[in-house]
Structure 1
Amino acid sequence: MAGTRNDISDPQPGKAGVRDDFSAETHAEGEERRLHLRAFDYWLSLKGELEFPLFKDLRPEGLAPYRHNSLLLELTEGGAIVRYVGDHISMLVDAPIAKGTNLSAFPDSAFAQALLGQFDTDEGRGRAVEFEFVEDLLDCRGIMLPFSHTGLKPHFSMVVVNFRRREGLEHVETFALEEAVSSCERAAGQVVHLDGGSRGSLYRALAAAFALHEEAERTPDAFKALLKEAGLKQQKRAPFTPALKLTFGKDYDKTRLTEYAAALAYAKRNGVAADGLAEFLEKEPGGIKGCVREERAARRGESGTASATLQQKAEAALAAAPEASLESLKTDTEFCLVIARPKEGGGLEAIGVADVGQNTIDAAIRRHAEKIKTP
């Protein structure tokens, strides 16, 4: 594709009062995160508590890592007006691009038309939206980040794009996986940045991790290579863990990763796919915690496992144990838990006092108290 590099050294504002000097040269931070995801982080840092980050807060040093791969558009009633275009972006359009040009002036450019299609929706104009553009052997993915004069409505969109040319179809699997990883990181970023996120944002991040796991099952060799590059290993006993670590980070809390993996395993056990996970977790009693309990119970019940064998032996021992009268039972605490079993003819018969910790007793007390509360 032919393209030109526009002059980006003019510090004077354009006719619409738009500053387009984004030419400060600084070194980008490490490449550990994909370019458009780092741009999303930058956007979030400017956004704060506003509906939209302010355009006036953009700084050349902050934009320097994306200058070659970014396109700045002003959203006007007359269309999307180009205020800045990076030299790498200009390669995607089959005509010279000048500042002040309307993006609709390139009807023969599939890339320009694809962007315009995004702006046809409120989501495309008013939200940080990822997009993918594929043409012949060109793979392109990026993000559109809205900015505002007032913080109340979008007036600009900064487009940051990564693209590469494919030499053949063997790269398709890797690209699909990398796209899935990008979606994971984006979803997890919303959990991390927005004051710890919400239950909904966490569920969406888990759904993205589930989708990555599904893609990995379709392309195991490509996923193995991806894990090697990330310094991770596949685990037969914990198949969801690699996808979760790619989503939340290798150093994410291990207890939470274990719970998330159990929740995903339970969803899969119930025939739920990635696109239905968020709804499944919303409806499941107890949400993630409830799924973890059910999955662990299901695993204990699987025949042939060590835990199932131990459970069967323990239940057999209790079934054969003699009945104990309540009068014969003793405890040193105000309350205790008594193990009982059904008896012939109806009712229950006690076996003994459960040897459990005080935390377990306290939790049982609270749950039972909730049941007997007067409506």
Structure 2
Amino acid sequence: MDNVRGFDEDRTGTDDEAAYAGGAEPALDIGSDERRMHVRAYNHWVSLLRGRAYPSIEDLDPASIADFGPHSVLLDFSRGIEDPIIAFLGSALREECGLDSSVTQISQVPSRSLLSRLTDHYLQIIANRAPIGFEAEFVATRGHNTMYRGILMPFSSDEDTIDFIYGVINWKELVDAETQAKLDAEVAESVRAAPRTPANAPVWADGPSAGFDDADSAADAESVESDTASDAGADDGTPVLGASLSDQLMLAQQTAAAVRAHDTRSRATLYRALGRAHDFAACADADPAGYQALLDKAGIAVQLRAPMTPIVKLVFGPDYDKTRLTEFATVLSHARREGVATGGLGAFLDGFEGGIKGVVKAERALRQPASKAPTDPSDALRSRPTLASVSIDTHVARGDYVVLLARAGAGDTLDIVAAIDDDSVLTHRAMRAAAD
């Protein structure tokens, strides 16, 4: 059964962690390249929006998209939604499904073909009016168990009506569990048995190799092994050693794109994206000139009062929901305040009561200025010298205060015309004014 997710549900303003409260990641593991294809397709759709509700179909040319065009299909609803026309079918998808040029409408697509898994969701695009992603596995017509991941994106000819839908799908055929276990064991053994390539250059005491020792070589090997593992599967949030600032940003953006697209709708994905943003912020501290160049290129201004806001704008995109960007920036600020190490933000959020909301609340509480304890104005007035003493019949007890209303008389005299002893609010206001 397909697992369907809205790619643009983050614009509805729902609670962050409620939206990603799926717990563990789905069991499907299609691989980083397939995931990135969906991210790239979604980013391409976003780049064509240009302030409109939907991209114009005139701006889309699937045949010219070498990256994911062969894995895509364009559906034309201009003549009705009951049986849309297949306006474009990529070569890779056509070959996988074994279709020829005679298949031109949805009704002609075989029910157990990979294309049918994509086109089955087109009515949900019409209903949701936003991109939709989905993933599942099924037994195809050739009898192979196939795992796939797809995305459908709306297009319009008049900027209002959804009359075209562009879909991208990627897939791989699975082997049985026993064969997969053997393959995994063989790959792991090959990695362990592979000899290290010795350096060709001589080691100079004061030359390019100075300062490199066995510990550095081990760290390099660990970095390579970590990168290889990352390329082989989904992003696990492990810090990438030695990556440049641009590489760190690209990795963070790819992880954040999965959050934006709800590619894997879970709290773990959101925490991992924030962890990547935290790591990128640390990298930016070490390369301020490079960071400023990235900001200038993206047209994002530095904010002295909110230094983490440009970071999250770079990672999640400046058009992302502003409330969430503010919360994400607050999380990064609190992580910096608490000295959270690179690669440690995910664990920090997991262990923090209330998760993201709890961290935001804690950081905002620390930013609040210390409130002054309320003071009693009578304390300040108690030591004041008496200006004059008059005898007036009032009902006020000794030591209490009363407001006297006086009219200026001849010379320096004041003619008291009333004693106001029954208005506590007025009396307190007069006392506070006198104490200040």
Between the two structures, name the one with larger relative contact order (CA 8 Å, sep ≥ 6). 2
**TM-score with structure 2 setting the length:** 0.40
